[in-house]
Amino acid sequence: MCHDAVWISLPERQYEASGRQNRRVSIDGCIADTITELWNCGTRTLGCCCGHGDTCPSVLVCASENPIHVRNLLDRLDERNWSVFKWERGKLMEW
Ligand SMILES: [Zn+2]
C-alpha cells in the first residue's frame, strides 16, 4: 500500500492508444513497476489503482485486450492478486 503517486511518461504504443494530450500520467507508486511491465509487454490500459490497502490492485484494460492474457501476465509479474477490468457491451466486467 502507498500514499504516493509517481509520474510516468507513457511508452509510444500506450500513448497512441490512450488518446491523451498529456503524455505523462500519475500512477500509484506501489503498482507503477508492474503497470510499466504490462506496457512493455504490449498491454494497453485505460486506468489502474493500487487499492490503497482497502482492495487488491486493479487495472482497466482497453477493449482490444484479452483480459485472460493480462491476468496471466500479472500472475507472473506481481505476487499480489489483481483484478482485471474491461468494458464489454457497455458493462464493466471483472476477470
Ligand atoms: Zn499503493
Cα 54 from Cα 77, distance rounded (Å): 21
> Please, is 64 exposed, middle or buried when counting C-beta atoms within 10 Å of its C-beta (0-12, 13-18, 19+)?
exposed
Q: Which domain holds residue 58?
A: 5-94
What's the pLDDT score for residue 20? Answer: 87
Q: Whole-prediction pTM value? A: 0.90
Contact 86, 60 (CB under 8 A): yes
What's the pLDDT score for residue 72? Answer: 96
Question: Would you say residue 17 has pLDDT above 90?
Answer: no
Considering its fold, how many domains does the chain have in total? Answer: 1
What's the pLDDT score for residue 37? Answer: 96
Cα 11 from Cα 1, distance rounded (Å): 25
Distance 54 CA to ligand 1 centre (A): 10
Distance 94 CA to ligand 1 centre (A): 20
Question: Would you say residue 1 has pLDDT above 60?
Answer: no
Distance 76 CA to ligand 1 centre (A): 19
Distance 89 CA to ligand 1 centre (A): 30
Burial 10-20 (b: 16+ CB within 10 A, else e): beeebbebbee
The per-residue pLDDT for range 19-58, each reduced to its tens digit, is 889 999 999 999 999 999 999 999 999 999 999 989 999 9
Distance 25 CA to ligand 1 centre (A): 15
Q: What is the DSSP-derived secondary structure letter of residue 14?
A: H
Distance 15 CA to ligand 1 centre (A): 23
Distance 77 CA to ligand 1 centre (A): 16
